[in-house]
Amino acid sequence: MFATNLKIAKVHLTSKIKQTVVALLGVMFGISMYVFMNSFMTGVNDVQTDLAFTSLAHIHIYNDGPADNTNLVKRVYKGKDVAINIRNAKVIQYTEGIKNTQEILDLVRKQPEVIGITPQVNINVFFRNGSNKVNGTLSGVDVDNENRLFNISTYMTNGTWNSLQYRHDGVILGLDLAQQLSLNINDNINVLTSDGVSRNFKVIGIYQTNVKGVDKSKAYVNISSARQLLSKNQDYVTDLQVNINNFEKTAPVVARLAPVIPYKVESWQTANQQLEAGSKLRDIIAMAVSLTILMVAGFGIYNIMNMTINEKIREIAILKAMGFSGRDVTEIFLVQAVVVGIIGGVIGMILGFVIADIVNHIPFKIGGLNNLPMAYHPKDYIMAFTFGLITTLVAGYLPARKASKIDPVDIIRG
């Protein structure tokens, strides 16, 4: 029986080829736009994420500094009727940086989600060259791990990242910082810490992340040199940067680590809520746009199916007079919708890919980009196809149901 209905559906589709093509174009356009919009949005999001995580780790462990001790007396005398006057309060004992680094490193590495961790010694310093002075951060890093987390080596414009491993007298500067100090590779730079320690380094590399705040104020040295600058031991670390496999899912890891590590454990979301908001908003826009496109396409299909059924109303009546049931009629028109959905979907995915590829080649030279970003995730294509098929089914089912309810006598008697 199904074979017969299939045959009728096939004849309907092939006898009015123009109409079928219009229906196909509707689905195709909807799905290709869906694919393209999603690829584009995902591409933009990925770039944004990449840019954000050039200097930002997923989880940051650091010593949060001393607690608020401006009013110690209040801890003892809680009553409101105590007048307190303390001036020039001084903290006399305060540990800087992270102690027992090795233990914390081991603990964090044991977490299954963790894909990388790197210790840093970050120092606020003055970079000096002649009479030029720039305030910035000197970051003592574990060369290999730092690169694993932040891909710094890909941002090098001059020199190589790895040379930092062997050159304890070397420093790698941000491009803007170097320009501000009129420095070039192999020049000397003087670094002055807040404790008054001054030391000369040699510029062995220049990088550019395109995040201006970083390029303007950050320089990298080997972690041992940084420790030496602070006269600290070989275990001294100010920050631990941790990356996990899915940057969205920081919450459970933070929840697990925070109670057992006696330092501040902070996810990137908490530290940079504006980034998270931006990313979420773009996701919502992408979804709204693609749903709108699919709905418009759905209406198109609905219209065309409706038109087809109105045109074929006599034939439906004849089929019913000959003994075809309402279900058969629904089946006949649903099969047409599914065929249009599948063919339109496949062509739509291909077209979507082509459009995405073309747009991907449009030059866009801002912030380190060369062309418009684009992502090619199979997920987007599967989603587009599934949604497209569902839309076609719904859009085809409604008119098909109407057709199944046609009373043959009404039509045949005229």
Question: Which residues would be at the binding site for other proteins (CB under 8 A)?
Answer: 1, 3-4, 7-8, 11-12, 15, 314-315, 317-328, 408-409, 412-413
CA triple 398-346-11, angle to 5 deg: 55
CB 304, min distance to other proteins, A: 17
- Least Cβ distance, residue 315 to other proteins (angstroms): 5
Q: How far apart are CA 193 and CA 190, in angstroms?
A: 10
> Shortest approach of other proteins to residue 399 CB, angstroms?
19
Phi first, then psi, for residue 53 (nearest 5°) are: -90, 15
Per-residue CA distances from 167 to 123, 182, 184, 218, 224 (Å): 19, 22, 17, 18, 11
Rounded Cα gap, residues 322 and 373, in angstroms: 58
- Read off the tokens for 230: 């602070």
Residue 301 CA, chain-centre distance (Å), reads 34
Name which of 196 and 414 has its Cβ closer to other proteins: 414
Q: How far is the CB of 317 from other proteins (least distance, A)?
A: 8
* Beta carbon nearer to other proteins, 16 or 199: 16
Please, what sign has the CA dihedral across residues 176, 180, 184, 187?
negative
Nearer CB in complex with other proteins: 278/408:
408
The nearer residue to other proteins, 21 or 409, going by C-beta atoms, is 409
Q: Which is nearer to other proteins, 183 or 319 (CB)?
A: 319
Q: Which amino acid is at 46?
A: D
In this structure, which long-range contacts are made by residues 144-150, counting pairs with CB atoms below 8 Å and at least 24 apart in sequence?
145/116, 145/117, 145/118, 145/119, 146/118, 146/120, 146/220, 148/116, 148/118, 149/57, 149/116, 149/117, 149/118, 149/241, 149/243, 150/53, 150/54, 150/55, 150/57
Query: Min. distance of Cβ 405 from other proteins in angstroms?
Result: 9
Q: To the nearest whole angstrom, how small is the minimum distance from the Cβ of residue 336 to other proteins?
A: 13
Q: How far is the CB of 22 from other proteins (least distance, A)?
A: 18
Read off the tokens for 326: 């309402």
- Cα torsion at 353, 356, 361, 366 (round to 10°)? -150
State which residue, 253 or 316, has the beta carbon closest to other proteins: 316
For residues 145 and 150, what is the distance between their CA atoms, to the nearest angstrom?
9
CB of 43 to other proteins, least distance (A): 46
Residue number with CB closer to other proteins (173 or 309) = 309
Nearest to 174 by CA among 208, 144, 198: 208
- DSSP sequence for 229-296: HTT--TT-BSEEEEEES-TT-HHHHHHHHTTTSSSEEEEHHHH-HHHHHHHHHHHHHHHHHHHHHHHH
> What's the closest the beta carbon of residue 1 comes to other proteins, in angstroms?
5
Residue number, 73 or 321, with CB nearest to other proteins:
321
Minimum distance of other proteins from residue 318's CB (angstroms): 5
How far is it, in rounded angstroms, from Cα 47 to Cα 195?
39
Q: Pick between residue 134 and residue 304 the one whose CB is nearest to other proteins.
A: 304
What residue type is assigned to position 299 of the chain? F
Nearer to other proteins, 249 or 314 (CB): 314
